[in-house]
């Protein structure tokens, strides 16, 4: 049986279980090996007129994935779960579910953020939390729930975010992990604890929150029934349970660099040891999400490849993502641009029509073919990335020469090239599976197979395919 660590990495569009382990080589020391064990789909479903995540499907996929690791001859010593941020469930005092896992794109938060500002100012919230204002942050989801169903909030004995809930199902231990907790917009950026004062101002009960635990904590073994079902026992460990937190752990650089975690969302920023919650950072709407070793992810959420995912879905998956890239390359004369961060693209009825309408309203040529639509999206994303980089450079008074892209989006060569062109900087891509890798290296640090984050990043750089794109003329 081959010893490994398992990463359960679930994004908004798909989930996977990856096995990772270290191997000694004669020439370059330790290298990390990664094998995909199991892949499954994820997406929002409609229930009672709300968009929710199918938690039964996610849990049963994790169980199937662990079983598959055993079938493939692996002995997993530990497992860590990361997922997208902000969403949660509530449990009653007997640990029964009180709510569905409502998805952040559901319309229940429409207008709620603006209403909250009447009670607590934007400046106050930002000073306390350092978190970017997005209509779907957990803070506004809880206020929306309070408005629609106050009784449920008062009955709640446990607030668990998505990975916390999956960890609870596996181990029976209820906790809130730090990196994901910060995405709620009610963890205090100075104390790194729940900001109970902020919650009380909004009349949200505070006794359902658990103590916040850091990445690197061993949560416990699988419940005996679960261990029996999957045919193995292992430790469940907390990685950075926020997927973006895990992805940034795996940026293969020990120098300060701009990173872009590219998947359903595009998360573009830098890693800092101190939060930057200045007035200027607020005006640009940057976030300071908590990371491994209390490093902060100073970044901006950019609408991301969700836009092309929606186009693909609306066209009944007629073209693959790779084909959209080719079609967009062929439409090279087309140069209309949309503001990807406009909330109209968060969950429109029809993404294709929304992109067209934006171009029409702004008197630009309207994209008609799939290639023109894809090009409009990719070019608009690249321009938005480039603008965000300029904002960071202005805020930090530093010029960066390189951008590291990680995640599934690195497979989009056109987007990599457009970013190199737009920014005039070298674009370095990889690893594709950064999130799972970041999840696994935290487990390796817990096991003392790796010393620290610095060593982990050195090993990652040596182990995976990393590619450079230079701006034309270099």
Backbone φ, ψ for residue 426 (5° rounding): -75, 135
List 21, 74, 84, 259, residue binding ligand LRH (CB under 6 A): 84
**Among ligand ADP, ligand LRH, none, residue 206 binds (CB under 5-8 Å by kind):** none
Q: How far apart are CA 251 and CA 405, in angstroms?
A: 8
Known catalytic membership, residue 124: no
Binding partner of residue 309 among ligand ADP, ligand LRH, none, CB under 5 to 8 Å per kind? ligand ADP
CA distance 127 to 183: 15
Expressed in angstroms, the distance from the first to the final Cα of the chain is 49
Q: Which is nearer to ligand LRH, 263 or 409 (CB)?
A: 263
| Residue 351 contacts ligand LRH per CB under 6 A | no
Judged by CB under 6 A, the residue of 181, 258, 267, 381 near ligand LRH is 267
Q: Where does 234-276 show beta strands of DSSP type E?
A: 235-237, 258-262, 266-272
CB of 363 to ligand LRH, least distance (A): 32
Residue 104, binding choice from ligand LRH, ligand ADP, none, Cβ under 5 to 8 Å by partner class: ligand LRH
Alpha carbon of residue 369 to chain centroid: 31
**Which range, of 30-38, 65-73, 258-266, 346-354, touches ligand LRH by CB under 6 A?**
258-266
Q: Which of 167, 244, 439, 463 binds ligand LRH (CB under 6 A)?
A: 244
Instruction: Reduce the DSSP state of residue 437 to 3 states and report it.
Output: helix
Distance of closest approach, residue 263 Cβ to ligand ADP, in angstroms: 2
Collapsing DSSP to helix, strand or coil, 375 comes out as helix
**301 near ligand LRH, judged by CB under 6 A:** yes
Helix (H, G, I), strand (E, B) or coil at 220: strand
Q: Residue 321 binds which entry of ligand LRH, ligand ADP, none, with Cβ cut-offs from 5 to 8 Å by kind?
A: ligand ADP
Compute the least distance from the CB of residue 104 to ligand LRH, in Å. 5
Backbone angles phi, psi at 76, to 5 degrees: -80, 125
CA distance 15 to 115: 35
- Of the residues 82, 106, 164, 243, only one is catalytic, namely 243
Which DSSP category does 187 fall into? B
Q: Which does 301 bind (CB under 5 to 8 A by kind): ligand ADP, ligand LRH, none?
A: ligand LRH
Q: Which two tokens stand for residue 121?
A: 């100012």
Partner that binds at residue 91, options ligand ADP, ligand LRH, none, CB closer than 5 to 8 Å by kind:
none
Strand ranges in 214-317 using DSSP code E only, listed in sequence order? 218-221, 235-237, 258-262, 266-272, 287-290, 296-302
Q: Quote the CA–CA distance of 180 and 16 in Å, as a whole number.
A: 19
Q: Rounded to the nearest whole angstrom, what is the least distance from the CB of residue 321 to ligand LRH in the complex?
A: 17
By CB under 6 A, name the binding residues for ligand ADP: 11-14, 263-264, 305, 308-309, 321-322, 325, 407-409, 411-412
Contact between residue 381 and residue 328 where contact means Cβ atoms under 8 Å apart: no
3 state SS of 8: strand
Least separation, in Å, of the C-beta of 302 and ligand LRH? 10
Contact 388, 268 (CB under 8 A): yes
Q: Interface with ligand LRH includes 86 (CB under 6 A)? A: yes
Spatial separation of the C-alpha atoms in residues 254 and 196, rounded to whole Å: 36
Question: For binding to ligand LRH (CB under 6 A), which residues are involved?
Answer: 11-12, 84-86, 104, 242-244, 263-265, 267, 301
Active-site residues, by number, are 243
């Amino acid at each position: 049986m081959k010893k490994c660590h398992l990463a359960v990495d679930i994004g908004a569009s798909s989930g996977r279980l990856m096995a990772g382990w270290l191997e000694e080589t004669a020439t370059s020391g330790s290298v990390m090996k990664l094998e995909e064990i199991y892949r499954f789909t994820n997406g929002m479903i409609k229930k009672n007129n709300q968009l929710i995540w199918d938690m039964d499907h996610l849990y049963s996929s994790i169980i199937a994935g662990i079983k598959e690791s055993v079938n493939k001859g692996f002995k997993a010593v530990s497992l860590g779960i990361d997922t997208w941020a902000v969403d949660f469930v509530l449990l009653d005092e007997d640990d029964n579910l009180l709510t569905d896992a409502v998805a952040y794109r559901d319309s229940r938060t429409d207008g709620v953020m603006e209403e909250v500002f009447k009670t607590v100012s934007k400046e106050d919230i930002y000073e306390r939390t350092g978190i970017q204002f997005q209509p779907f942050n957990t803070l506004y989801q809880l206020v929306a729930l309070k408005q629609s169903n106050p009784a449920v909030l008062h009955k709640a004995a446990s607030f668990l975010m998505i990975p916390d809930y999956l960890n609870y199902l596996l181990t029976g231990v209820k906790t809130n992990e730090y990196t994901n907790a910060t995405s709620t917009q009610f963890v205090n950026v100075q104390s790194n604890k729940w900001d109970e004062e902020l919650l009380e101002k909004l009349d949200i009960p505070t006794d359902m929150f658990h103590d916040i635990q850091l990445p690197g904590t061993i949560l416990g073994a699988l419940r005996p029934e679960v261990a029996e079902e999957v045919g193995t026992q292992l430790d469940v460990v907390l990685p950075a349970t926020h997927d973006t937190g895990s992805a940034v752990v795996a940026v293969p650089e020990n120098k300060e660099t701009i990173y872009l975690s590219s998947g359903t969302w595009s998360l573009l920023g830098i890693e800092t040891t101190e939060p930057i919650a200045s007035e200027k950072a607020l005006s640009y709407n940057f976030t300071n999400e908590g990371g491994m070793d209390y490093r902060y992810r100073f970044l901006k959420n950019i609408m991301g490849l969700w836009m092309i995912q929606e186009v693909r879905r609306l066209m009944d998956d007629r073209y693959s993502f790779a084909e959209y890239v080719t079609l967009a390359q062929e439409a090279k004369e087309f140069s209309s641009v949309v503001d990807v961060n406009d909330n109209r693209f968060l969950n429109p009825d029809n993404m294709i029509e929304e992109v067209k309408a934006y171009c029409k309203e702004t008197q630009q040529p309207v994209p008609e073919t799939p290639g023109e639509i894809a090009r409009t999206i990719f070019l608009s994303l690249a321009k938005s990335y480039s603008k965000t980089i300029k904002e960071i450079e202005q805020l930090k008074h530093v010029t960066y020469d390189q951008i590291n892209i990680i995640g599934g989006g690195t497979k989009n060569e056109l987007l990599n090239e457009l970013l190199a062109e737009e920014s005039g900087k070298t674009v370095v891509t990889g690893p594709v599976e950064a999130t799972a890798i970041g999840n696994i290296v935290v487990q390796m640090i817990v096991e003392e197979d790796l010393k620290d984050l610095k060593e982990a990043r050195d090993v990652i750089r040596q182990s995976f395919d990393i590619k450079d794109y230079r701006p034309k003329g270099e």
